[in-house]
Amino acid sequence: MASIQQGPNGPVLVLKESALQQKGKDAQRNNIAAAKLVAELVRTSLGPRGLDKMLVDSLGDVTITNDGATILKEIDVQHPAAKMMVEIAKTVDNEVGDGTTSSVIFGGALLAKAEDLLKKDVHSSIIVEGYQAAAEKTLEIYSELS
């Protein structure tokens, strides 16, 4: 089903004809599941006992790695929430150069906890406020330690 929005110069097709549209709790659940799947993909590659992944591209070229950034660069992610997890890894890689896998796993863990709270009917805005307060406190403590 295509989504057509009214633009200043007439109607604009926002989504492809084949795009699946979800709203509300279904969209939340789907987004969380996709992001957690990306986190799970790289989780097993973390640490000294992390497993290597064998990636085969469309040309048949093989890459074997346990680097989360490399894994996420090589896979073709279509889901918007999963793409955001890949962007987390890219940003951390560009800014810090390390910690991509841990960042994606941490993001997945935050979403898993958010999912638990949503199941208990905690409103998503309350969860966001809690995460923002935790981030502020973390920065405060970090500032005191440095």
Backbone CA torsion sign across 26, 28, 30, 32: negative
Closest CA to 31 of 102, 121, 94, 124: 124
Residues 114, 32: contact at Cβ < 8 Å?
yes
Question: pLDDT tens digits for 94-133?
Answer: 999 899 999 999 999 999 999 999 999 999 999 999 999 9
Where the chain has pLDDT below 70, the residues are 1-20, 22
Cα–Cα distance, 91 to 138 (Å, whole number): 19
Q: Domains in the chain, ordered, with CATH?
A: 23-120 (1.10.560.10)
